[in-house]
Structure 1
Amino acid sequence: MTAPAFVINARLDPERLQPIFRRTRRLHLPDVFAPEQAISLYAAVRDRTPWRRSFLLGDRGVAMAPDELAAIPEDKREALERDLTKTARNGFQYAFDSWAVSDEVEAGRRIGHPAEAFYDFLNSPAFLGWVHRLTGDTRAVYCDAQCTRYGPGDYLNGHTDEAEGKNRLFAYVMNLTPDWNADWGGLLLFIDPDGHVAEGYTPAFNALNIFEVPQPHAVSMVPPFAGGSRLAITGWIRSGRDDPPEAAGTKAA
């Protein structure tokens, strides 16, 4: 049986929301899809996702399968964790589980996961046209996507999402965790020029966060007492795919 097509809630009128977005450069949009569709996508991300551990090693993003991580001797794993902590203390670092949906789909490795259908929806005329009307920017032609899972101790340090050659216009977070408590962390935080938190979004279930790139932001650490994992599908809405290497330069993504 084919899953029903994703349809954005008609109450989220992009023309009505556009002036707010253009003024604030970000929006938190609740109740994006029909509840049963959001619950189905959540269950698939929770139960069927082939997670990999993601972190930054030097200037290179790493995504390790569980068996690869388990094969590292304990002393080397502990040293790696110390290095990640040291990097995070004074610079950019992240640690969470992910699955690069768009990379897998574009490499011809579909596995029948509902997140693949969501990726197709993101790249449909219906969604891209909705983005054009919401943002007032008609350059959006492509969206990438990854499933993300933040458990206790996971985080994403402050950054702007700006990356030469990636053609990023906007970032999005499709939140898929029911009954999340703000005390459990995992908040999408926007940082003002003085280093203060200007605004924060709790990862409310079936809510879409969308914001303009570049913009300083972070995801706060999930504490040990959190009652679950923060699940989402995230990515960037772009004016094109990656530029060729000679045009993109050497700046790390």
Structure 2
Amino acid sequence: MDLQASLIELSPDLDFTAATDSFARTGRAQIVNFLTDSSARRIRDMLERGTAWSLVWTAGQGPPEVIRPEALVALTPDRARAIQAALATAMASGDYAFCYSTYPLVQALLERWAPGGPHEQLLTDLNQPALLDRIRRLTAIPELVKADGQATLYRPGHFLARHNDSEPARGRRVAYVLNLCGDLDGAPWRPEYGGMLQFLTDAGDPDETLLPRFNALNLFAVPQHHHVTSVAAFAPATRYALTGWFRDRI
């Protein structure tokens, strides 16, 4: 992979008018075909073939547990069943829980997991001045100064329970999800597969549901109640995405 070229290349045909209007009205926007096709395919290929995924999960109020790739290979069936039981208990009791695969871009950069590699470049590209300026104008939040991020992979059974992303001390202002799932030859991700980004009213009713379309960028103001629905056991593909927040402080 040529690390001199940007991994994040915006489509030259983008019209941000509708997204800007939508964000002003609802605090949400979706931009389809956000990247050039070659850029989206390069990132998808990196996630599919060149990423060492960890599993992250939590059930209840305790801190998340991260199981790194080298430990995942040694995960016993009994331990896997215990994790699933803890997740099921938490969700059945109305507690918070999640389970999905992750590659934390910021942590990987700070701890130098792969110095000079494409994952470091991806985080740099998410913070390129032209992209940050575009997001500032679209959201009408001029204070945005930084994007953090992680790569995520939802396999069958993975989910993210209801939450609102609120962490004022960390400066989270706008959440983003850049979906990179679906068949690269044109077959879309189907609603039956799950893995949907769903916004909720204060009463907990579904308000808006977004299909994880390939190369679609979803933006939404923080805080908003939302969750990611469980990926179905029969889903023939996995749900890749880049996710994180545009922040107003370093």
Q: Is this a same-fold pair by TM over 0.5? A: yes
Distance 1:207 1:114 in 2: 21
Distance 1:62 1:46 in 2: 23
The secondary structure found in structure 2 opposite 1:60 is coil
The answer as to whether partners of 1:88 and 1:94 remain within 8 angstroms in 2 is no
Which shows bigger deviation, 165-174 or 98-107?
Answer: 98-107
The secondary structure found in structure 2 opposite 1:165 is helix
**1:231 matches 2:232:** no
What residue identity is the alignment partner of 1:75?
D
**1:78 matches 2:81:** yes
- Alignment correspondent of 2:24: 22
Instruction: Rate the CA distance shift 1:137–1:224 in 2: closer, same or farther, 3 A.
Output: same
- Alignment correspondent of 1:12: 14
Distance 1:219 1:38 in 2: 22
The answer as to whether partners of 2:56 and 2:64 remain within 8 angstroms in 1 is yes
- Alignment correspondent of 1:149: 153
Instruction: Rate the CA distance shift 1:185–1:72 in 2: closer, same or farther, 3 A.
Output: closer
The answer as to whether partners of 1:15 and 1:133 remain within 8 angstroms in 2 is no
**1:182 matches 2:191:** yes
- Alignment correspondent of 2:186: none
The answer as to whether partners of 1:48 and 1:113 remain within 8 angstroms in 2 is no
Output the TM-score relative to the length of structure 1. 0.88
Instruction: Rate the CA distance shift 1:112–1:226 in 2: closer, same or farther, 3 A.
Output: farther
Mapping of residues 99-110 of structure 1, within 5 Å: 99-110=103-114
Distance 1:203 1:20 in 2: 18
- Alignment correspondent of 2:136: 132
Instruction: Rate the CA distance shift 1:56–1:164 in 2: closer, same or farther, 3 A.
Output: farther
- Alignment correspondent of 1:88: 91
Which shows bigger deviation, 5-14 or 153-162?
Answer: 5-14
Paired positions, count: 241
Distance 2:116 2:95 in 1: 38
- Alignment correspondent of 1:250: none
Distance 1:115 1:66 in 2: 16
Distance 2:240 2:215 in 1: 11
- Alignment correspondent of 2:70: 67
The secondary structure found in structure 1 opposite 2:70 is helix
Instruction: Rate the CA distance shift 1:177–1:75 in 2: closer, same or farther, 3 A.
Output: closer
Which shows bigger deviation, 95-104 or 13-22?
Answer: 13-22
The Cα shift of 1:139 comes to 1.1
Q: Which runs of 5+ in 2 are unaligned?
A: 184-188
The answer as to whether partners of 2:19 and 2:31 remain within 8 angstroms in 1 is no
What residue identity is the alignment partner of 1:139?
E
Which shows bigger deviation, 112-121 or 177-186?
Answer: 112-121
Distance 2:4 2:34 in 1: 17
Distance 1:152 1:210 in 2: 25
Instruction: Rate the CA distance shift 1:72–1:44 in 2: closer, same or farther, 3 A.
Output: closer
The secondary structure found in structure 2 opposite 1:218 is strand
The Cα shift of 1:198 comes to 0.9
The answer as to whether partners of 1:56 and 1:93 remain within 8 angstroms in 2 is yes
The Cα shift of 1:21 comes to 0.8
**1:218 matches 2:227:** yes
Instruction: Rate the CA distance shift 1:117–1:197 in 2: closer, same or farther, 3 A.
Output: same
The answer as to whether partners of 2:9 and 2:39 remain within 8 angstroms in 1 is no
The Cα shift of 1:216 comes to 0.4
The Cα shift of 1:76 comes to 4.0
Distance 2:86 2:214 in 1: 34
The Cα shift of 1:91 comes to 1.5
Instruction: Rate the CA distance shift 1:19–1:56 in 2: closer, same or farther, 3 A.
Output: same
Instruction: Rate the CA distance shift 1:14–1:190 in 2: closer, same or farther, 3 A.
Output: same
